[in-house]
Structure 1
Amino acid sequence: MGSTPHTRRSDTRERIQRTALDLFVTRGYEKTSLREIAERLGVTKAALYYHFKTKEDILVAISDQVGAPVDELIAWGEGRPPTLETKRELLCRYSEKLREAVPVFRILQENQASLRSLDIGARLRERVTRLSRLIHSGADDLATRVRCVSALLTVHFGALALDDLAGDPEERRLAALTVALEILETTAPGPARAGAATA
């Protein structure tokens, strides 16, 4: 069975997004033009226009693509009880999702002024807010909620802010996750915390 036009179009969009992301990361978002993306792909600018009218459209599509697994994770978390085990799983899975998202976050961070008119940043903040609610759900007091949110932010910002530390990116991600899980353990009831410490 041959590929359908829809499949070919989807594959082409995927290639465009991968190529554009590579150029945005290596050359910088502002310095990358649609013409350069088309040249790297070996297509005409008109062919590129068929799929994306602007490089902003490409970045929105990339952002939506890396955000979709986080949306699925949030949906999973919303269907689970707010137990410590659920929260551990949320942190672990979110840490894994961030591996793909870090280049996009960097582009957004470095180009805030020029991308202000897009709602990518707002959607990112909404996802983090929804995850935060899941992580501190069921917490009785403010200090416990702060610890829960601190664990999430350790995972989130740890993926972005540890470049100057030794070790490869995967080692840094796992180190941030370890610290986040240690913070989360401080929110467990006394016996549960003691059990986790001796496990």
Structure 2
Amino acid sequence: MTDDTPTAPEGRQSGTRQRIQQVALELFAEYGYDKTSLREIAERLGVTKAALYYHFKSKEAIIAAVFEEILEEMDGFIAWTKTQPRTSTARQQIAQRYVESSKGASSVMRLFQENGPAMRELKVGEQMRDRLIDLVNTLTPEHASVPDKLRIRIALFAVQLSRFSMQDVPVEELDAAIVEVVFELLDRVSWE
């Protein structure tokens, strides 16, 4: 029995779902979300469309599954951030945790950036936007100046942009630089 059959044991189904998500992301990156069909995903996987349909009824369901873990991690990060004091040490920890948590999401965020119009129309796009707004609001002091609001937004959005546009830099070196810059921007914000 193979991974792609509907009768596969639960653990193997999970592996199949992950493989479907991975292949779908590859195709979405190659051709775009709108121009990729379930048939093409099934063909790349070497399974029938019915086998794919058993696991996911639509491309949106695949995207929702991909983003589910990211959204859960963001929720945890935002909740943790809300409990942190607004000290320089806490801002350093926020910067480090945000950069660390963004590592696994870089290919998904790239998909989001490259397929913006399509992603914005999906429920998951709205959920992602809402989480990012919540994070920005969590880090923005009530009486923040416009430059401080801009620093916070640049700090957060620069993380994914850097991962996307600086792939020629070794990951460890890039992560250290991102943490440094994010912290510098957050530390310049007036928190009183």
Query: What band does the TM-score fall into relative to the shorter chain?
Result: 0.7 to 0.9
1:57 aligns with 2:82: no
Q: Following superposition of structure 1 onto structure 2, how do residues 22-37 of structure 1 map, counting pairs within 5 Å? A: 22-37=26-41
Say if 2:78 is the partner of 1:39. Answer: no
The structure that has the greater radius of gyration is 1
* Aligned residue number for residue 126 of structure 2: 122
The whole-number CA distance in structure 2 between the counterparts of 1:170 and 1:187 is 26
Counterparts in 2 of 1:1-199, with a 5 A limit?
Answer: 5-137=9-141, 141-142=144-145, 143-160=147-164, 162-163=165-166, 167-168=169-170, 171-187=173-189
Indicate the larger mover: 112-121 or 69-78: 112-121
Does the 8 Å CA contact 1:144/1:187 hold for their aligned counterparts? yes
1:154/1:179 contact within 8 Å kept: no
In the alignment of these two chains, the number of paired residues is: 183
Contiguous gaps of at least 5 residues in structure 1: 190-199
Amino-acid identity (%)? 39
TM-score (norm 1): 0.74
Give 1:166 shift. 5.3
Q: Following the alignment from structure 2 to structure 1, what is the Cα–Cα distance between the partners of residues 99 and 30?
A: 24
**Aligned-partner SS, 1:29:** coil
- Give, in angstroms, the shift of residue 141 of structure 1: 4.5
Q: Which runs of 5+ in 2 are unaligned?
A: 1-7
Gap change, CA 1:27 and 1:90, over 3 Å in 2: same
RMSD of aligned Cα (Å): 2.9
Query: In structure 2, how many angstroms separate the alpha carbons of the residues matched to 1:115 and 1:146?
Result: 24
Structure 1 pair 60–93 and aligned structure 2 pair: CA distance change class (3 A)? same
Alpha-carbon distance in structure 2 between the residues aligned to 1:177 and 1:42 = 41
Contact 1:29 1:111 in 2 (8 A): yes
Q: Which amino acid aligns with 2:21?
A: Q
CA shift in 2, pair 1:64/1:182, >3 Å: same
Contact 1:91 1:155 in 2 (8 A): no
Q: Residues 10-64 of structure 1: CA distance to partner in whole angstroms, max 9, x if unpaired?
A: 3321221122112222343334322232233232210110111112221121122
